């Protein structure tokens, strides 16, 4: 145990003694106030029987008043505050002792470090074993991958041959017609609307000699 811990233990012992004293003072002060009230009640009862009882009751009342003057309410509050302060000091000292015990326990700290190091070493060995197994599996996988690539190349060649055979066969079917433009549709309707087909004949006639225009159909 270090000197600081020993000083804290001595301080805690003195604080506990002070806490006990403050509690005893508070209990005595509270008991004195209750006794004063009882004495006052007893004196009042004696006064109801006769003159002698009345004098005794007066003496009891005077004694109760004196005790109340000795133990006022402010004194009880002050004793309670002192008790609470002593309790807080004890709690603070115990907290310091606990923190020091946690930080100065070298045996526990060394044991925790060793346990952590052994766990990390075990994890390292396990990871190395897994890596070695993965390397071995990778060697076997490389041979398997080469065989798979050969099969894939064969399949690709077969697909290319099938595609070439399809496009060169007569079962391929005719190519789809090109989409018809709107201008072509309008021109076809205009030619179909002519009764004598003059526009169609003019369109089909060859151009005139000398680069002239073709003869126009009669209106």
Which pLDDT tens digit goes with each residue over 172-202?
A: 655 556 666 777 777 777 777 765 555 555 5
Residue 137: per-residue pLDDT: 73
Angle between helices 3-47 and 73-104 (to 10 degrees): 160
Question: How many residues are recorded in the chain?
Answer: 219
* Mean pLDDT over the full length of the chain: 70
Residue 205: per-residue pLDDT: 54
Neighbour-count burial of 57, counting CB atoms closer than 10 A to its CB (0-12 exposed, 13-18 middle, 19+ buried): buried
Top-confidence residue, 114 or 170: 114
Residue 9: per-residue pLDDT: 84
Distance, CA of 65 to CA of 37 (rounded, Å): 9
Q: Give the list of residues 6+ apart from residue 81 with CB closer than 8 angstroms, or none.
A: none
Whether residue 40 has pLDDT greater than 50: no
Top-confidence residue, 153 or 13: 13
Angle between helices 3-47 and 51-70 (to 10 degrees): 160
Q: Are 37 and 64 in contact (CB under 8 A)?
A: yes
DSSP the chain: --HHHHHHHHHHHHHHHHHHHHHHHHHHHHHHHHHHHHHHHHHHHHHTT-HHHHHHHHHHHHHHHHHHHHS-HHHHHHHHHHHHHHHHHHHHHHHHHHHHHHHH-HHHHHHHHHHHHHHHHHHHHHHHHHHHHHHHHHHHHHHHHHHHHHHHHHHHHHHHHHHHHHHHSGGG-PPPPPPPPHHHHHHHHHHHH-SS-HHHHHHHSPPPGGG-PPPPPP-
Residue 136: per-residue pLDDT: 80
Q: Are 103 and 4 in contact (CB under 8 A)?
A: no
Top-confidence residue, 186 or 138: 186
* Tens-place pLDDT, residues 150-161: 777 888 888 888
Q: Are 203 and 187 in contact (CB under 8 A)?
A: no
Q: Which of 39-48, 83-92, 204-213 has the lowest mean pLDDT?
A: 39-48
């Amino acid at each position: 145990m270090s000197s600081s811990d020993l000083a804290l233990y001595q301080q805690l012992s003195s604080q506990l003694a002070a806490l006990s004293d403050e509690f005893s003072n508070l209990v005595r002060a509270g008991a004195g106030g209750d006794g004063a009230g009882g004495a006052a009640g007893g004196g009042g009862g004696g006064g109801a029987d006769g003159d002698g009882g009345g004098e005794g009751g007066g003496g009891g009342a005077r004694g109760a008043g004196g005790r109340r003057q000795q133990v006022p309410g402010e004194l009880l509050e002050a004793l309670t505050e002192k008790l609470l302060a002593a309790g807080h000091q004890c709690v603070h000292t115990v907290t310091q002792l606990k923190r020091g015990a946690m930080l100065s326990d070298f045996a526990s700290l060394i044991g925790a470090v060793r346990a952590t190091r052994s766990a990390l070493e075990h994890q390292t060995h396990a990871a190395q074993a897994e890596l070695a197994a993965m390397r071995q599996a990778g060697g076997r996988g490389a041979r398997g991958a080469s065989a798979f690539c050969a099969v894939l190349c064969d399949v690709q060649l077969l697909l290319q041959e099938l595609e070439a055979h399809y496009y060169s066969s007569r079962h391929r079917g005719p190519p789809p017609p090109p989409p018809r433009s709107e201008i072509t549709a309008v021109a076809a309707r205009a030619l179909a609307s002519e009764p004598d087909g003059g526009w169609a004949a003019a369109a089909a006639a060859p151009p005139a000699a000398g680069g002239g225009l073709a003869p126009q159909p009669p209106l």
